[in-house]
Amino acid sequence: MATLSGAAYINAATIALPLFIPQEAVSDGTSCWGIRLFAALSALLHITPTERAWVNQLPKILLSPLLFDEPRAKLAVTAMTCLGAVLPPLEPIGGVARQLKIASRMAEACVEASTWKAAAVALMLACKAAYAHERRRRLRSGKRRDFGLLHCSEHIDVTLYLLLFAVTDAERSRAAFAVLLALPVLLVLPAVALFLLQRGLLATRHWRPLPAWLPVELVPLFREKELRNLSSHKLWNSAKLYMDILGWKRVTWADLEQKVASIALPERYSPDLLVGVASGGAFILPLVASKQPCARAKKLYVAHSGGWSNKSLLQTARMGIAFLRDVHAMHALPHKISVIEPASDSSAVAMCSPQPVPQRQPSAGVTRRRARSPARKGQAVGAGPASQTQAATILLVDDSISTGSTIARVSDWLKQRFPGCDLRVLTLYSGKLSPVHVDYRPPDALPGVAIPLWWPWGLELD
């Protein structure tokens, strides 16, 4: 079963809005229970999607009689929609009939001398344009059932139609108020639940044991990340909960061990350096070194990048807009990259291999993890001249790659430091928006899946 994501929940919440239309507000020609059954089934299919065509046609079959007043038209369009579930070439016929009926009703509403009806029709047209854009993107990608966040515009369009034409004039204001009141309540429920979960995890964080393979030197970094994740008080961080790249799923230490153990590296592949992208990549870095004998490098590093965490309100808003517009726009967001070497901060990085290699003296190109080191917008901290110490092979490790922005920045940084190196990427999860090539991943971690929300070091809401 697919993992529930923020986009799926918003789609389910918006299509469930007709459930809150009062029964006495529905006109005589429309079935109130038909509206509620349509809304409930549609919401359920967004939470638990299926590939069965006839099941996905059920909401359209229930919607067809709600749009038409004439009994013959109801029967004809409903029958054609049922045939479309069995014979896919006939499916567009029922859809065209429904859209023509909606268009005729909208034209009638525009003729009437009513300002609020004209405004409602204008909003419906905007929703139709947004839905057409979202549907075109799905069809081009070949993933017709992979509904994005903009898919909710179709649900708002349907709700507005029902408020305009399925509700009596006397009760329309009360029905609209009930729907408008239900929308923010439905949207805020997951954020409230996550806040309560954060409080509970924060109070019990010291009771949860750490795995034996996690080095003592990494514990301070782990506790810092855990505390930051669980005590995040910025309200706008809750917006990340509804981004399409996050799946509402929990990952345990046992899951991480199983996934790392299932990754098969080439027998003769022996990287000179293992680099973990903090924070998650740093925590699984010792696990990669211990579980994969061929991956025993001479030295471990931890690279920090500000691609996701510690964002301001404006940066979080820009990140959300970039997700809706184009994933490649994420790469233009400002990052801060620094590398911790064992000589500069032994309390934050683990030396998991007893065989050190000669390293150059620290220069201006390597920041010593100074708190809030200054950086120009869009410029990587420490992107100085290339290192004279050559590393033939580097394995870059991260727990997950959502948009690929962070891993691309760290990869560019490493290629500048070690020109001509053989850089390969290992990750446990690769999101649907990531264009980055991944060399090694677990066999069950197919590309294009949602990134888990709940990790052993907290929730991805910091």
Taking the C-alpha atoms of residue 429 and residue 427, their distance in angstroms, rounded to an integer, is 6
Phi and psi at 254, nearest 5°, equal -65, -40
Query: What single letter denotes the amino acid at residue 114?
Result: S
**pLDDT in single tens digits along all 462 residues of the chain:** 456 788 889 999 999 999 999 988 887 666 888 899 999 999 999 888 887 878 888 898 888 888 888 888 888 888 888 888 788 788 888 888 888 988 888 888 888 767 888 888 999 999 999 999 888 888 887 777 778 888 999 999 999 999 988 888 888 899 999 999 999 999 889 888 888 888 888 888 878 889 988 888 788 888 888 887 777 666 666 777 777 777 888 899 999 999 998 888 887 788 878 888 877 888 888 888 876 555 455 455 565 545 445 555 555 555 454 444 433 333 333 333 344 443 333 322 332 222 333 333 333 333 333 333 333 323 322 223 334 355 578 888 888 887 777 788 788 878 888 888 889 999 998 866 566 788 888 887 766 667 888 889 888 776
Strands (E), 172-307: 246-250, 273-278, 299-305
Q: Which two tokens stand for residue 382?
A: 């420490």
187: buried, middle or exposed (CB in 10 Å: 19+, 13-18, 0-12)?
Answer: middle
Phi and psi at 42, nearest 5°, equal -65, -40
Note the pLDDT of residue 15: 93
**Is 447 in a helix, a strand, or coil?**
coil
Taking the C-alpha atoms of residue 446 and residue 1, their distance in angstroms, rounded to an integer, is 14
- Residue 452, H or E segment: strand 451-455
Of 132, 103, 116, 127, which is closest to residue 17 (Cα–Cα)?
A: 127
Taking the C-alpha atoms of residue 20 and residue 36, their distance in angstroms, rounded to an integer, is 9
Instruction: Give the other-Cβ count within 10 Å of 49's Cβ.
Output: 17
Note the pLDDT of residue 366: 35
Threshold 0.85, pTM exceeds: no
**Is 304 in a helix, a strand, or coil?**
strand
Q: Which two tokens stand for residue 135?
A: 């549907």
Q: Please give the CATH number for the structural domain made up of 213-459.
A: 3.40.50.2020
Query: What is the secondary structure of 68-117 as a DSSP string?
Result: --SHHHHHHHHHHHHHHHHSGGGHHHHHHHHHHHHHHHHHHHHHSS-HHH
Contact at 8 Å (CB) between 449 and 458?
no
Q: Which residues contact 292 (CB under 8 A, 6 or more apart)?
A: 260, 263, 265
Q: Which two tokens stand for residue 426?
A: 């290992």
Note the pLDDT of residue 304: 52
